[in-house]
Structure 1
Amino acid sequence: MPVPFTLVTAALAVVQVQLPAQHVEQMPAETYARAEQMMPTRGAELVLQDRIVPQWIAGSDRFWYRVTTARGSAFVYVDPARRVRRPAFDHARLAAALSKVADTVVVADSLPFRTLGWQEEGKVTRVTVSVRRKSWRCELGTYQCIAAESPAAANPNETPSPDGKWALFLEHHNLWLRNTATGERRALTTDGVRRHEYAGSVEYSTEWVTNARNGYPAPPVALWSADSRRVLVQKVDQRMVPETHLVQTIRDTGVRPRLWSFAFPFPGDSLARATWWVFDITTGRAVAGDAPPMELGIVPLLASGEAWWGDSAGTTAYYVERGRGARAWWLKALDAATGRTRTVAEERGAMLVEPAPAVGAPPLVRVTPDGSEVIWFSERDGWAHLYLVDAATGQVKHQITKGEWVVRDIVKLDARARTLWFTASGREPGRDPYLLHLYSIRFDGTGLTLLTPEDAQHQVTLGAGGGWVVDRMSRPDLAPVTVARSLDGKTVVPLERADLTRLLAAGFRWPERFVTKAADGMTDIYGIMFKPSNFDSTRRYPIIEEIYPGPQRINVQKTFVAGSEDQSHAELGVISIRIDGRGTPLRSRAFHAYAYGHLENNGGLEDHVAALRQLAATRPWMDLERVGIFGSSGGGFGSVRAMLTYPDFYKVGVSASGNHDIRGYLALWGETYQGYPVGEDYLAPANWTLAGKLKGKLLLAYGELDDNVAPAHTLQLIDALTRANRDYDLLIATNGSHYMAANTYFRRRRWDYFVEHLLGMTPPDHYLLTTPAEYEHSGTPPDVPRRRP
């Protein structure tokens, strides 16, 4: 059942005047069906032999994977060192054996399982699979299958130890331990209370209400040592954090609305604070870290890769601590036996210093196994690079990588060989500067080697044995090819080449990558363009720009995608565009800092306008008199900002879940990109201050239970629009969360809005979208619809 919506129109007609009926062409339902066919989930279904997930065998670089084929699916075994790629087993024999023991028909080309257990004992290999909810163990030499004990279902509210003997869980704000063999339980802590609890998350995680009302699991946020002896957790105190509130109007039972109140700091507010604790499972000893409480962002350090054990025995833990306003960060070491904490190294700057080139990426920091040196990330020379730091003094020994390009991730470190492998972008001349490549380099900065020479985006996965990677290479205009590569760059084993036959038959049209100049006339900016499958160069097409101005991530895709919001828009009869202007990451520090302290120009809006004008100058089929814009979240802000800043350029806008006034948004985001302390400059980016400049058609939308960007953002904006006597339309998702773009009803109404106001046509009558939307912004499932009694 779709999430209910309410449509409100702000222009009130006092007198109706009968006018002669005018004929407006209605868009055929077939056009919407074609647009639906190009939605992300539908397009992906039409691609074969792509998106493999390697399953490593016994800690080695050998692996198996499952792949979709024209006949169904297949399992493949790979031993890259021997250049072996073959079927993982005889699919027909295994299907016959399973049919016999499971008393059902099992088809070789469509085996009824997506995963399996792989066990090797000498020369004997067995696989364990599930058929009709029963487990079967089959020997691959004889293809004899016997019933196997089904593994116990994992408790999603527990955090198991690496050896499987223990499990942590939360009860009444305290941390508990369970012996998985005996079921014995014991409390590790007893003094936890609401909003001052052990191993929990902050309520301003941007999904707290969504998770709570849908009953999603809440396992302890804890880090086990590899030997399963010690556990590292934080005790989180958010009692001083101000609350914000949401009202749920539609409930499972009854008609009385429910109030949801949760801690949510705005810029300048008090943040949650956390202290470190180490628990020794064998002795029961608890050790408190001696460092002062640290202020927390939105994701616990133990869940975001910002804390880790330095060795398997859990003697030292390392963590990254960020300063308020993102002008400093520190690497700290915690002695698990004493709780003593020391600062290993630090990074400071006048503005925006981060431990990775983009928000959400784990810190690019690696401590050598002996603890003597640190691979360190910094943009101190204007570009994102790696440095070698002395762990005893915190001083930089020397710079490892250098040049006008960006290090993106550390894939592997080999301290004995004093070599590291990393991904980077922007180094290869004549290529899109965002494309990822894999490199190796020695600690002393010599021997820089490109290991993935193809002009493509390289998505690499390191093998469990550490000697190989699986590399999926593609571009928006290049079909994916997946290979295994040795880390010396000498051997490449082909795995899969994507089959696009069905996708092309459905009308897929390759997008066009482009580069234009920014508004300064000098800086290159990059984008992507989508045309309808029935494109006719003699026609004039309106334009829809899908915007996300950052500044924490880019918006233009760099890999091949079979279906997208952009192509769906294009199928309506428009040119769909994405652009990354100045102020977005993954270029130089100066490029990223362009809008720092001036989020009213977030993402370089003038660059977007300049780019569209340059594109239209050489493409007469682009109609600059009919330009629309859509965005969600930060893009919801951006779409409204564009409509208000360039009211004669952008004629139709759709804005979902927009953070229209950063003074009422998450402290971490505003303080990182607008600056800290909070000052009068925070008013400039507020969209409501420009409400009187609205000229075009604007549809605003929000979910009433948006725990990321509260409905107050949109409501305060429409209050200003109403006071300015401007017309707007409003769509409310009762029970809806932040991810409006994932709702099929909203998508259909968005299409309707552009069709009516940008193309000048009547939309199909009540077209029903049946394809679920891809959940683009996080791994959390879309809202669970609630049925009203």
Structure 2
Amino acid sequence: MLFLSGRRIVSSKIHSPFLSVISACILGFSTTLMAQGKKEDYQRAEIVKQTMDNKVYNAPSTVQWIDQEHKFWYANPTPSGKKFMLVDVVGKSKSTAFDHEKLAVALAEASKSKVKPDSLPFTAIRFTDKGQVIEFEYLDENWKCNLASYKVEKTAKRPDFRRGRYWGDGTGEENRTPVTSPDGKWIAFVKSYNVYVQKADKSEPESALSFDGSEGENYSAALIWSPDSKKLATFKIRPNKPHLIYFVESTPADQFQPKLHSRNYLKPGDALPQKEAHLFVIDSRKHVAVKTSMGHQYATTNPKWWNDSRGFSFEYNERGHQAYKVIEVNGENGEARDLIAESSKTFIDYSGKKYRYDVNDGKEIIWASERDGWNHLYLYDGLTGKVKNQITKGKWVIRKVVKVDEKARTIIFEGSGKEKGQDPYLIQYYRVGFDGNGLTALTTENGTHSATFSSDYQYFVDTYSRIDLPPVTNLKSAVDGKIIQEIEKADISALTKIGWKAPEVFVSKARDNETDIYGIIVRPINYNPKKKYPVIELIYAGPHSSHAPKVFNSDFRYRFLHELAELGFVVVQLDGMGTSNRSKAFHDVCWQNIKDAGFPDRIKWIKAAAAKYPYIDASRVGIFGNSAGGQNSAAALLLHPDFYKVAVSSSGCHDNRMDKIWWNEQWMGYPIGEHYAASSNSTHAAKLKGKLLLILGEMDDNVDPASTMQFMDALIKANKPFDFLMVPGMGHSMGGDYGEHKRRDFFVKHLLGVEPPAWEGMN
């Protein structure tokens, strides 16, 4: 029986007559092509979704090495169900990690619940007791199974150190727990806004180290002892005023009447805490207010002492994100110097590209920088603050440092754009020496790689794929990247049987007619090249990353593109200028100009695709997105209405002055100026053309719901028609199942010109 729950047609059991009809349509057995946007298209979309979700086999979802052993396990989806596999590298064996049937029986008896061996109700395991016991979580409890007896029992639940934080929360200054010195002889604490110490055995009375703390300028509770227990480092803080935003939860689960909620949520331009470093010498009670080169601060990191206690360092991010420093403080006299100083005329991408590793107690420092126009690694002399050498260089980028081996003086890292002839966003793994020599590719296959290394970094499990290449998993040497053992190769026969085809990677030139822009084209299964198909673009132009899928069947968004295409559209996604993971110049396009969103590149890309494929109708283009993509999709109808005709915008940040401080000041800068208003959708509301649907969750604490409401107010004042869906109780989202169905219907009606099928008719 099929039933529709908002978006999804959920099937516990699909009757064969229905499946035959769908299969006939999908496989092309029907001599007449179905009309677009009809009930059958919605149902076929669900069949595609279910197949992509559940019938891609031998593509491990989790790989984990066993501590201190050359063995690893992985969870493998197979036609006969999920199997946990164990690989012994030395023994060159691969087998099931345990008897799934016995464990299912034992767990069912212990938990008094139904457990199936082909779908065990956990995704991760942990081997203990030299591999004789596995632990896992089920029903919010911890369990263990003895693999000799298959006795299953509960274990003590390990504490969960995660805690919720909202944008703009403080840093835990309310925590006044005393901090014990490394030698155990002293405790330090903040009392009445000042720093105190006392002998741990309470043999002497507490003693104040500072006397100038007050409610308006208090000392931080983050008191950092030097390793020799002779000194303390901390900050004196001039706090800021909280910025509360409010939410009315209309339909709470625990009461009939609405609830009022609030969050501390700092926005661009709000005051931020300002900190001053202080040094305390315990024996002499010496107190030094450290004088540094810091100006208006966005943030500082907590002090970090060198192991020999010669001093401490901390990082300083200047307000506006155009200067970033590592500041070192002498542990004896409190004198400060700039150890590393980065500057930019636009922005320093501290949230996505900053990397620091202290070698040999800070005698050397590995540092990431875009100073030559590409994100690369540099080796600093930590004593002089001078660059010893650039470690990596070229027109490609470092994506992530995986391992620094101080003894071998080598670095394993992720990079992209180095392999010629490959999509520059694909991730590969490399090893290089501190001196920049010996650069070795550990992976080269044409795909995005995800590596999981053994604890000694001798081996790694490498899974690679592309959107048009199913995953391949191999065991490799971490020395030279050679394949030691083939582990799995994905089986997508269930997808090909229903006529599914992988998206096409399409490349065209950017606005400068030189830079390549990469994106994907998704077509419906039953597409006919003699017909015309409207285009729908999924947009997310957030500058903090790149967003077009690069991995096969990677996440819900990728599958969602295929579902939407089945309704009778060509669906596309791409990364225009202003997004990350390319050159610094490519990224800088977003600077103080979020409204650009790469639209000149996007429009040119879609037109190039339509020129190559006549069945793509570039006169009927829709667009949708969430969060930053919600801002982008609405802006398409305001700023580029001659090209984009229909937009669905959910959880939109429609004015960067209304959104969280860190994200918006990172790209739009500080102080707040006219450029903020210029990028605001509310500013341009009177320019709206086309059909617009706004979706909003009333409890969105990621993007202030008032951002959408203010945009709506501007549209109303400009007498502009639009549609709106408020989802009660929902947070930051695309509208859930209900919102997704409304989005599909909106495109079907306004791009295809077809009245969407009745929801009840989908049963």
> TM-score, normalized by length of structure 2?
0.79
What is the rounded CA distance, in whole Å, between the counterparts of 2:473 and 2:216 in structure 1?
47
* 1:391 shift after superposition: 0.8
**SS at 1:431's partner residue?**
coil
Structure 1 counterpart of 2:149, one-letter code: Q
What is the rounded CA distance, in whole Å, between the counterparts of 1:503 and 1:278 in structure 2?
64
Query: Given the alignment, which residue of 319, 340, 353 partners 1:345?
Result: 340
Query: Given the alignment, which residue of 508, 516, 519 partners 1:527?
Result: 519
**SS at 2:734's partner residue?**
helix
**SS at 2:699's partner residue?**
coil
What is the rounded CA distance, in whole Å, between the counterparts of 1:589 and 1:720 in structure 2?
35
* 1:463 shift after superposition: 2.4
Aligned length: 691
1:173 corresponding residue in structure 2: 174
**Structure 1 residues 367 and 83: alpha-carbon distance in aligned structure 2, compared to 1, 3 A threshold:** farther
2:89 corresponding residue in structure 1: 80
1:8 corresponding residue in structure 2: none
1:692 corresponding residue in structure 2: 686
What is the rounded CA distance, in whole Å, between the counterparts of 1:256 and 1:490 in structure 2?
59
2:67 corresponding residue in structure 1: 58
* 1:592 shift after superposition: 0.8
Q: Given that residues 536 and 569 in structure 2 are in contact (C-alpha distance below 8 angstroms), is that contact kept between their aligned partners in structure 1?
A: yes
1:589 corresponding residue in structure 2: 584
**SS at 1:664's partner residue?**
coil
Aligned runs of 1:375-394 on 2, under 5 Å? 375-394=366-385
2:708 corresponding residue in structure 1: 714
Aligned runs of 1:412-491 on 2, under 5 Å? 412-491=403-482
Asked if 1:508 is matched to 2:518, the reply is: no
Asked if 1:401 is matched to 2:392, the reply is: yes
Q: Given that residues 267 and 657 in structure 2 are in contact (C-alpha distance below 8 angstroms), is that contact kept between their aligned partners in structure 1?
A: no
Structure 2 counterpart of 1:36, one-letter code: E
Aligned runs of 1:136-147 on 2, under 5 Å? 136-138=144-146, 140=147, 143-146=148-151
Q: Given that residues 176 and 188 in structure 1 are in contact (C-alpha distance below 8 angstroms), is that contact kept between their aligned partners in structure 2?
A: yes
2:737 corresponding residue in structure 1: 744
1:203 corresponding residue in structure 2: none
**SS at 1:552's partner residue?**
coil
Structure 1 counterpart of 2:54, one-letter code: E
**SS at 2:657's partner residue?**
helix
What is the rounded CA distance, in whole Å, between the counterparts of 2:755 and 2:562 in structure 1?
21
Asked if 1:536 is matched to 2:546, the reply is: no
Aligned runs of 1:1-16 on 2, under 5 Å? none
* 1:388 shift after superposition: 0.8
* 1:546 shift after superposition: 0.8
Q: Given that residues 35 and 571 in structure 1 are in contact (C-alpha distance below 8 angstroms), is that contact kept between their aligned partners in structure 2?
A: yes
Q: Given that residues 704 and 732 in structure 1 are in contact (C-alpha distance below 8 angstroms), is that contact kept between their aligned partners in structure 2?
A: yes
Q: Given that residues 6 and 741 in structure 2 are in contact (C-alpha distance below 8 angstroms), is that contact kept between their aligned partners in structure 1?
A: no
2:552 corresponding residue in structure 1: 560
* 1:113 shift after superposition: 4.9
Asked if 1:244 is matched to 2:240, the reply is: no
**Structure 1 residues 706 and 197: alpha-carbon distance in aligned structure 2, compared to 1, 3 A threshold:** farther
What is the rounded CA distance, in whole Å, between the counterparts of 1:80 and 1:332 in structure 2?
45
Q: Given that residues 334 and 340 in structure 1 are in contact (C-alpha distance below 8 angstroms), is that contact kept between their aligned partners in structure 2?
A: yes
Query: Given the alignment, which residue of 653, 663, 667 partners 1:669?
Result: 663
Q: Given that residues 539 and 621 in structure 1 are in contact (C-alpha distance below 8 angstroms), is that contact kept between their aligned partners in structure 2?
A: yes
**SS at 2:603's partner residue?**
helix
* 1:743 shift after superposition: 1.0
Judge which range, 51-60 or 147-156, deviates more. 147-156
**Structure 1 residues 260 and 347: alpha-carbon distance in aligned structure 2, compared to 1, 3 A threshold:** same
Structure 1 counterpart of 2:492, one-letter code: L
**Structure 1 residues 112 and 676: alpha-carbon distance in aligned structure 2, compared to 1, 3 A threshold:** closer
Give per-residue Cα distances to partners, 1:547-590, cap 9 Å, x unaligned. 11122221211111165221121111100011211111111111
What is the rounded CA distance, in whole Å, between the counterparts of 1:178 and 1:573 in structure 2?
63
**SS at 1:687's partner residue?**
coil
**Structure 1 residues 403 and 101: alpha-carbon distance in aligned structure 2, compared to 1, 3 A threshold:** closer
1:258 corresponding residue in structure 2: 260
- RMSD across aligned C-alpha pairs, in angstroms? 4.4
Judge which range, 528-537 or 96-105, deviates more. 96-105
Judge which range, 693-702 or 709-718, deviates more. 709-718
What is the rounded CA distance, in whole Å, between the counterparts of 1:321 and 1:626 in structure 2?
49
Asked if 1:67 is matched to 2:76, the reply is: yes
Query: Given the alignment, which residue of 40, 49, 56 partners 2:58?
Result: 49
Asked if 1:354 is matched to 2:349, the reply is: yes
What is the rounded CA distance, in whole Å, between the counterparts of 1:725 and 1:145 in structure 2?
70
Give per-residue Cα distances to partners, 1:264-319, cap 9 Å, x unaligned. 232x221245688999xxxxx9x999688998879x968xxxx98877x9998765
* 1:86 shift after superposition: 3.0
**Structure 1 residues 564 and 273: alpha-carbon distance in aligned structure 2, compared to 1, 3 A threshold:** farther
Query: Given the alignment, which residue of 633, 643, 655 partners 1:639?
Result: 633
**SS at 2:683's partner residue?**
helix
Q: Given that residues 520 and 548 in structure 2 are in contact (C-alpha distance below 8 angstroms), is that contact kept between their aligned partners in structure 1?
A: yes
Give per-residue Cα distances to partners, 1:339-365, cap 9 Å, x unaligned. 99765322112221234xxx446x322
Structure 1 counterpart of 2:400, one-letter code: D
Asked if 1:151 is matched to 2:151, the reply is: no
Judge which range, 695-704 or 54-63, deviates more. 54-63
What is the rounded CA distance, in whole Å, between the counterparts of 2:457 and 2:685 in structure 1?
56
**Structure 1 residues 657 and 127: alpha-carbon distance in aligned structure 2, compared to 1, 3 A threshold:** closer
* 1:112 shift after superposition: 5.6
1:624 corresponding residue in structure 2: 618
Give per-residue Cα distances to partners, 1:41-69, cap 9 Å, x unaligned. 87332222223423332334432223222
**Structure 1 residues 172 and 366: alpha-carbon distance in aligned structure 2, compared to 1, 3 A threshold:** closer
What is the rounded CA distance, in whole Å, between the counterparts of 1:769 and 1:231 in structure 2?
68
* 1:456 shift after superposition: 0.5
Structure 1: gaps of 5 or more residues: 5-24, 160-169, 180-185, 201-220, 280-284, 771-789
* 1:715 shift after superposition: 2.1
**Structure 1 residues 367 and 570: alpha-carbon distance in aligned structure 2, compared to 1, 3 A threshold:** same
Structure 1 counterpart of 2:85, one-letter code: V
What is the rounded CA distance, in whole Å, between the counterparts of 1:42 and 1:556 in structure 2?
22
Structure 1 counterpart of 2:447, one-letter code: A
Structure 2 counterpart of 1:496, one-letter code: E
**SS at 1:754's partner residue?**
helix
**SS at 2:547's partner residue?**
coil
* 1:461 shift after superposition: 2.4
> TM-score, normalized by length of structure 1?
0.77
**Structure 1 residues 583 and 147: alpha-carbon distance in aligned structure 2, compared to 1, 3 A threshold:** closer
2:402 corresponding residue in structure 1: 411
What is the rounded CA distance, in whole Å, between the counterparts of 1:449 and 1:719 in structure 2?
57
Give per-residue Cα distances to partners, 1:129-164, cap 9 Å, x unaligned. 6789784542x5xx33456561234255789xxxxx
Structure 2 counterpart of 1:546, one-letter code: L
What is the rounded CA distance, in whole Å, between the counterparts of 1:587 and 1:750 in structure 2?
32
What is the rounded CA distance, in whole Å, between the counterparts of 1:130 and 1:238 in structure 2?
42
Q: Given that residues 244 and 262 in structure 1 are in contact (C-alpha distance below 8 angstroms), is that contact kept between their aligned partners in structure 2?
A: yes
Q: Given that residues 174 and 190 in structure 1 are in contact (C-alpha distance below 8 angstroms), is that contact kept between their aligned partners in structure 2?
A: no
What is the rounded CA distance, in whole Å, between the counterparts of 1:420 and 1:414 in structure 2?
6
**SS at 2:530's partner residue?**
coil
**Structure 1 residues 254 and 415: alpha-carbon distance in aligned structure 2, compared to 1, 3 A threshold:** same
2:132 corresponding residue in structure 1: 125
* 1:468 shift after superposition: 2.2
Aligned runs of 1:194-273 on 2, under 5 Å? 239-251=240-252, 252-255=254-257, 258=260, 260=262, 262-266=264-268, 268-273=269-274
Asked if 1:580 is matched to 2:589, the reply is: no
Percent same amino acid among aligned pairs?
A: 35
Structure 2 counterpart of 1:248, one-letter code: E
**Structure 1 residues 310 and 246: alpha-carbon distance in aligned structure 2, compared to 1, 3 A threshold:** farther
What is the rounded CA distance, in whole Å, between the counterparts of 2:220 and 2:520 in structure 1?
43
What is the rounded CA distance, in whole Å, between the counterparts of 2:510 and 2:238 in structure 1?
45
Q: Given that residues 349 and 666 in structure 2 are in contact (C-alpha distance below 8 angstroms), is that contact kept between their aligned partners in structure 1?
A: no
What is the rounded CA distance, in whole Å, between the counterparts of 1:135 and 1:232 in structure 2?
43
What is the rounded CA distance, in whole Å, between the counterparts of 1:381 and 1:50 in structure 2?
39
What is the rounded CA distance, in whole Å, between the counterparts of 1:463 and 1:415 in structure 2?
17
Q: Given that residues 55 and 79 in structure 2 are in contact (C-alpha distance below 8 angstroms), is that contact kept between their aligned partners in structure 1?
A: no
**SS at 1:660's partner residue?**
coil
1:16 corresponding residue in structure 2: none
Q: Given that residues 76 and 85 in structure 1 are in contact (C-alpha distance below 8 angstroms), is that contact kept between their aligned partners in structure 2?
A: yes
